[in-house]
Amino acid sequence: MKELEIKSTLQVYDSLEELPEDVRQLMQQSFDIRDKGYAPYSEFLVGAALLLENGKVVLGNNQENACYPSGLCAERTAIYYAGANYPNEPILKMALSAKSLKYRLTTPTPPCGACRQAIAEYELKQKKSIEIFFTGETGKVVKSYSLANLLPLIFDNSYL
Ligand code: THU
């Protein structure tokens, strides 16, 4: 038996002011779209702003449904729109933000497992890392250099 160690390195910014200007703008777009999310059941709003290589920004937020599993997370709403409309345009950066209407969200909120799997598909497809920035409500932001860094042991098409 051997032990396998999996390591991820993340960067933490204490405030939005520390972010590079283009990311700060992307994060602001993520906040704006987050606040338009449709989340009457969880009262938890999520926004995603994706910067494409051609400079376009694709936005998405969470869309809930009375039949709960029929809803969709912000990240997948945005990335599927990007995949549908800009199939050959690499995604360079992703700014994710979350906010609860019930309490103050102090922890930067990472994408859920299902969204990580979805983002992984596009990162592998475009053969270029996607930088992921995520935040809650305090201005503290976590950055991952790539999705792979957030999802060890990715299940990908090499298994099919
Ligand atoms: N949600 C997202 O939009 N992205 C995530 O990565 C985590 C969860 C949404 C789904 C649901 O509408 C609400 O947040 C509570 O789970």
Specify burial of residue 153 (Cβ count, 10 A radius: 0-12, 13-18, 19+): exposed
Q: Which of 145, 152, 66, 82 is nearest to 116 (CA)?
A: 152
In a domain, 57, yes or no: yes
In a domain, 137, yes or no: yes
In a domain, 59, yes or no: yes
In a domain, 1, yes or no: no
In a domain, 5, yes or no: no
Q: Which of 73, 27, 65 is nearest to 49 (CA)?
A: 27
pTM for this prediction: 0.97
Per-residue pLDDT tens over the stretch 15-37: 999 999 999 999 999 999 999 99
Q: What is the pLDDT of residue 16?
A: 97
CA–centroid distance, residue 2 to ligand 1 (Å):
37
In a domain, 157, yes or no: no
Question: How is residue 15 written in tokens?
Answer: 């405030």
Q: Which atom of ligand 1 is nearest to the CA of 114?
A: 6
Query: Catalytic annotation on 89?
Result: no
CA–centroid distance, residue 4 to ligand 1 (Å):
31
Edge-first strand order for the sheet with 10-13 is: 10-13, 141-144, 131-135, 91-100, 44-52, 57-61
> What CATH number does residue 71 fall under?
3.40.140.10
Domain housing 27 = 10-151
Which of 18, 21, 75, 89 is catalytic? The answer is: 75
Q: What is the pLDDT of residue 99?
A: 98
Q: How many distinct helices (H) and strands (E) make up the chain? A: 3, 6
Per-residue pLDDT tens over the stretch 53-64: 999 999 999 999
In a domain, 51, yes or no: yes
Q: What is the pLDDT of residue 5?
A: 95
Per-residue pLDDT tens over the stretch 93-141: 999 999 999 999 999 999 999 999 999 999 999 999 999 999 999 999 9
The residue whose CA is least distant from atom 2 of ligand 1 is: 73
In a domain, 42, yes or no: yes
What total of structural domains would you count in the chain?
1
CA–centroid distance, residue 83 to ligand 1 (Å):
20
